[in-house]
Amino acid sequence: MVRWARVTKQPAGREFCQPRELRSTLLLDWLIDTQENAVPSETTNNDQSLIDLTCALVRMESILGNERAVAECVCQEMGRLLFDHVEIDKVGNAVGIVRGLHGGPRILLDAHMDTVDVVPVNAWVHQPFAAEIDNGCIWGRGSSDMKGALAAMIHAAGGLDRANLAGTVIVSASVGEESIEGAALRTVMDRHTPDFVVIGEASNLNLVRAGRGRAEFTIETVGEPAHASDPGAGINAVHRMAAVIGEMEKIPMPEHQFIGRGTMCLTDIISIPYPAHSVVPSGCRTTYERRLLPGEEHDAIKAELVEACARAKAPDTMVELAMTDYRTYTGTHWVEPKWFPSWKLDEDHLLVQEGLRGLRSAGLEPGLASYQFCTNGAYSAGTAGVPTIGFGPSTEQHAHVVDEFIEIDQLSLARRGYESIVTTLLRGTAP
């Protein structure tokens, strides 16, 4: 028996993702309560159903900040699969819960709904939002990063046998990850307090137990303006920046035995004023993106950058941690430092060992790996300190590229993997 509450229209059969007006961003439209012993839909174990959902999600453009349609689609599908509770929270995350019949830990499976842009669009052979199926793959923006993983998580949770489950499974389809890693997940975790987190970013079906973090710093050199016809009369801030850049390249990067090296990349540069009309520029600003390793602190990295500026003999140069200014589709405004810490979990941690055991029992052969890109794990593990692993279909190299695709075989293996990780961790008391 299922009791639907405050759902204006019950999702129907295989009609995926009919867009409709979202009347409230505060849960009410999507609150669903099921009574005990809800029987999961048989279609959860159907590969075609998983392919259909992935394609439906890929067809919905959800470039960063535009995730509303995907969130509604996710809610509809969770409702169809008889999740115990489905909601869209205040920042726009779609969250569904499946409760076991026995008490136990709370596991959060997270996948973000937003994607990066598709430029240059004329370089795509497969249309980015057509979800074409060709050569055993689904093609389109977000297929690997990470709508395939999201679909696999939803179907894995939707197919769980509650009678044999001691604990709770929370699936979050989160917003804004491509701009501000972890901010949206923070909202989910504050509300649902998981004991364990599984990040679904691409891992090539390996088990990830660590990830590099990310930080952005802005550096601004100061000069003295003068007429460009007499450059010796001023101090050119761009020349000073050139010296700073040279010193930045010499900063040694740290290395971690398991994760690898930290990196630093000059990502943008602009002179001030820009454009300059016959003026020796009085300012120059660059942004550096630093990939972080466990234990790195923002003050120490900033001190390294300040020392490099001093070696470049560029007086008055300013070094600052950059800020994110981001607004979600529900209007939540985040202004926060661009500091997303690295994280790791020991190999002998229960979550790693049970995760490996679960994946092997599903017939997979996972290795242990680390994420080189930054993920929502920066918050769940790096900031909140909640044990976190990563597991997902496809590879990091398939993210953010022209003609993005996901292999259909990996999709169904990922669904089996999620299901098996959960059932291994939440083993019920029934024989």
Q: How far is the C-alpha of 58 from the C-alpha of 69, rounded, in Å?
A: 11
With respect to Zn ion, which residue has the nearer C-beta, 84 or 181?
Answer: 181
With respect to Zn ion, which residue has the nearer C-beta, 201 or 220?
Answer: 201
**Whole-number minimum distance, CB 112 to Zn ion, in Å?**
6
With respect to Zn ion, which residue has the nearer C-beta, 201 or 404?
Answer: 201
With respect to Zn ion, which residue has the nearer C-beta, 46 or 372?
Answer: 372
With respect to Zn ion, which residue has the nearer C-beta, 84 or 145?
Answer: 145
**Whole-number minimum distance, CB 404 to Zn ion, in Å?**
11
Q: How far is the C-alpha of 325 from the C-alpha of 347, rounded, in Å?
A: 36
Per rule CB under 5 A, count of chain residues that contact Zn ion? 3
With respect to Zn ion, which residue has the nearer C-beta, 87 or 201?
Answer: 201
Q: How far is the C-alpha of 195 from the C-alpha of 74, rounded, in Å?
A: 23
Please check whether residue 405 is in contact with residue 398, taking contact to mean a CB–CB distance below 8 angstroms: yes
**Whole-number minimum distance, CB 83 to Zn ion, in Å?**
23
Q: Are strands 368-371 and 343-344 parallel, antiparallel or unpaired?
A: unpaired
Element (H, E) at 133: strand 133-134
Please check whether residue 195 is in contact with residue 349, taking contact to mean a CB–CB distance below 8 angstroms: no
Dihedrals φ, ψ of 295, to 5°? 90, -10
- At residue 279, the 3 state secondary structure works out as strand
Sign of CA dihedral 167, 54, 25, 83: negative
- The distance of Cα 399 from the centroid of its chain, to the nearest Å, equals 11
The residues in 116-145 that bind Zn ion, with binding defined as CB under 5 A, are 145
**Whole-number minimum distance, CB 255 to Zn ion, in Å?**
25
Binding string to Zn ion for residues 354 to 393, with x set by CB under 5 A, is what?
Answer: ----------------------------------------
How many C-beta atoms lie closer than 10 Å to residue 166's C-beta?
Answer: 17
- 251's CB contacts (< 8 A; 6+ apart) are 264, 304, 305, 308
In total, the chain counts a number of residues equal to 431
Which of 30-38, 146-154, 331-339, 408-416 is the region at the interface with Zn ion (rule: CB under 5 A)? Answer: 146-154
Q: How far is the C-alpha of 359 from the C-alpha of 394, rounded, in Å?
A: 16
Which of 43-51, 99-107, 162-170, 193-201 is the region at the interface with Zn ion (rule: CB under 5 A)? Answer: 193-201
Which of 19-27, 75-83, 200-208, 407-415 is the region at the interface with Zn ion (rule: CB under 5 A)? Answer: 200-208
Binding string to Zn ion for residues 64 to 103, with x set by CB under 5 A, is what?
Answer: ----------------------------------------
Please check whether residue 92 is in contact with residue 183, taking contact to mean a CB–CB distance below 8 angstroms: no
Binding string to Zn ion for residues 251 to 270, with x set by CB under 5 A, is what?
Answer: --------------------
Which of 13-21, 98-106, 184-192, 198-206 is the region at the interface with Zn ion (rule: CB under 5 A)? Answer: 198-206
Q: How far is the C-alpha of 51 from the C-alpha of 57, rounded, in Å?
A: 10
Which of 151-159, 197-205, 230-238, 264-272 is the region at the interface with Zn ion (rule: CB under 5 A)? Answer: 197-205
With respect to Zn ion, which residue has the nearer C-beta, 146 or 153?
Answer: 146
Which of 97-105, 136-144, 195-203, 257-265 is the region at the interface with Zn ion (rule: CB under 5 A)? Answer: 195-203
Q: Does 110 bind Zn ion (CB under 5 A)?
A: no
The residue with its CB nearest to Zn ion is 145
With respect to Zn ion, which residue has the nearer C-beta, 162 or 398?
Answer: 398
* DSSP letter, residue 77: H
Element (H, E) at 134: strand 133-134
- 76's CB contacts (< 8 A; 6+ apart) are 11, 16, 17, 18
With respect to Zn ion, which residue has the nearer C-beta, 41 or 395?
Answer: 395
| CA within 13 Å, CB half, 431 | 0
Binding string to Zn ion for residues 264 to 303, with x set by CB under 5 A, is what?
Answer: ----------------------------------------
Residues that bind Zn ion (CB under 5 A): 145-146, 201
